[in-house]
Amino acid sequence: MRYILLGCFFVLLFTQCKKEGATIAFRLKTTKESPLLMYKGNKNNQSVDTVKFNDKQSVTLVLQQSELEELVFRFERTWITPIINNGEEMQIEISSDQDGINVTYSGDHADLNNYRYECTKVLGYGLVRQFYSDSEQQYPFTFYAAKLDSMQAAWLKRLRGIDEIAETELDEEAQYLTYFFNYVKSSFPWYIPLKNGKSVKSDPDFVQFIEEMEECPETESSKFYYPTFDLKVRWLATGLQEEEKWGEEYTLKMLQLIDKTISSVSLKDQMLTKCIDSYLSYAVNVNLHKTFSLYGDLCSNEEYKSGLEVKFKNAERIVPGAEAPDFDFYTASGEHKKLSDFKGKYVYIDVWATWCGPCKAELPYLTIIHKTLNNKSNLEIISVSVDKDKKAWEKMVDKKQLEWPQYIVKEAFKSVLTKQYNINSIPRFILIDPQGKIVSTVADRPSNEQLLPYLRDL
């Protein structure tokens, strides 16, 4: 009896010890010099720590149960989101090849975590373009739909073969597959009919597919749910514009279409808000008050509406013809400048950053424009960086030999420039007239062949 009790004691002791936390062992097998960041907690109360590796490029983390629920890691641009429970052990290897970063799990829940990582890596937005671009010939919708159904079935078979997956996790992952492949199917008209000069309604099988796609509010949290129904609305809008010209009433018409098409209140409010947010950032015009008023009438989410009030107030100040809000910027040597210093000339402003690929892609075109119009006395071309890293900016300006005036703002995306001009993505190009009034806060990019003759004629 004594030995039985002693054995029970050790079993109980082992069980109690196992419940105290979980262990994750990382190993780096890459020459990439990047920190591994660990995020704990939700967005409202999140901590970020840098994981320190030993000389053998490995580290073992012992985490408490309270740290496991909202646990995320990041290495370069790769997010690592392990499913791990209290008392479990996991090993994660980070490697790299010509295609980028690879993450491999072993230990508890290895099959599920490897599936989720590979699924996220492969089944993303990049696959859409690749899927339709790899086709040497143009086929009808049914051809692509059949291929996508086959791909979905293969991923679903692998998912169902994971022994340790819980029923709720199985349902969530299956929903991800359903909406992702519906999203790829919904992208068809932008890659095939429109690319070949045909109507988005030219394929009857696609029309039937998109019209029969129904909302399911219970699955709205699935990652590709919103993008899928967003494409449905955009398809309807594109078809309507083939029959009628919306012009400056585009956003008004879009808000009305969303209200008419989407039944779910939460999904509708999201779509309405994203639509008006984009308008306030990129397409402000003479219909500003009318458009924002309609949004207020149609959207039922007061938090969404109040969150856009500041942006609306800013938009009132950046409509074409309004006095351009002044802002400060600096040269590499620290010399202070203001937008108002350039009054008397047209000012074409390139808002960019060194980490922005599309921004850097515009530089060769802007170089040509500057060389062509360098002697134009009533035009000033300037670039204003929103980089956080001033040294990285200075290095790239020198490397690229950018010969027109180069400036940088303080506080990057929290600067007066980005706030007053509603800039939440770059590149952005702004044109100001000699009186200091706004011509456009979304001027043509340098790569647009119409920009050079337009600027030449000013």
The pLDDT of residue 291 is above 60: yes
Say yes or no: 221 and 106 in one domain. Answer: no
291 plus 354 within the same structural domain: no
Looking at the domain assignment, is residue 11 inside a domain?
Answer: no
Q: What backbone torsions phi and psi does residue 330 show, to the nearest 5 degrees?
A: -140, 150
Least confident range of 21-30, 123-132, 195-204, 246-255: 195-204
How many CA atoms are closer than 13 Å to the CA of 105, on its beta-carbon side? 21
Are residue 144 and residue 259 in the same domain, yes or no? yes
Would you call 155 helix, strand, or coil by DSSP?
A: helix
- Residue 215 has a pLDDT of 94
Domain-located, residue 7? no
**Domain end residue (candidates: 317, 352, 387):** 317
111 and 191 fall within a common domain:
no
- How do strand 89-97 and strand 100-107 relate by DSSP bridges? antiparallel
Looking at the structure, do residues 422 and 369 belong to the same domain, yes or no?
A: yes
Residues 291 and 247 in one domain: yes
Distance CA 174, CA 181 (A): 11
Number of domains comprising the chain: 3
pLDDT for res 281: 87
Radius of gyration of the chain (CA): 27
Residue 436 domain flag: yes
Whether 374 is in a domain gets the answer yes
The residue written with tokens 């990057």 in the block is: 412
In terms of domains, do 418 and 293 share one? no
Mean pLDDT for the chain overall: 89
Helix, strand, or coil (residue 149) = helix
Q: Is residue 112 part of a domain?
A: yes
Residue 13 forms part of a structural domain:
no
Which CATH number belongs to the domain containing residue 68 in this structure?
2.60.40
Write out the residue range of the structural domain in which residue 28 sits: 19-122
202 pLDDT more than 60: yes
Largest CA distance in the chain: 101
CATH label of the domain that carries residue 342: 3.40.30.10
Name residue 23's beta-bridge partners: 62, 89
What pLDDT, on a 0 to 100 scale, did the predictor assign at position 136?
Answer: 65
- Is residue 4 one of the residues assigned to a domain? no
Could you tell me if 102 and 117 are in contact, meaning their C-beta atoms sit under 8 angstroms apart? no
Say what angle helices 141-160 and 125-133 make with each other, to 10 degrees. Answer: 130
pLDDT of 133: 81
pLDDT of residue 5: 43
- Which DSSP letter does residue 396 get? H
In 3D, which of 173, 123, 171, 172 has the Cα closest to residue 148? 123
Q: Are residues 160 and 69 in the same domain?
A: no
Give the number of other Cβ atoms within 10 Å of residue 7's Cβ.
10
What does the alpha-carbon distance between residue 94 and residue 254 come to, in Å, rounded to a whole number? 44
Q: Which helix (H) or strand (E) holds 420?
A: helix 416-420
Look up tokens 């009433």; give the residue. 249
**Nearest-5° angle of CA 103, CA 389, CA 422?**
95
Q: Whole-model pTM? A: 0.77
Q: Last residue of some domain: 122, 137, 152?
A: 122
Residues 177 and 218 in one domain: yes
172 and 231, same domain (yes or no): yes
Q: Is the pLDDT of residue 125 over 70?
A: yes
Does residue 307 share a domain with residue 406?
A: no
Considering the domain boundaries, does residue 322 fall inside one?
no
- Same domain for 332 and 254, yes or no, is no
Closest CA to 268 of 215, 209, 212, 208: 215
Last residue of a domain, one of 79, 106, 122: 122
pLDDT band (50, 70, 90) for residue 236: very high
Give the closest residue to 20 by CA, choosing from 105, 85, 110: 85
Instruction: Please write the tens of the pLDDT for every residue from 323-335.
Output: 999 999 999 999 9
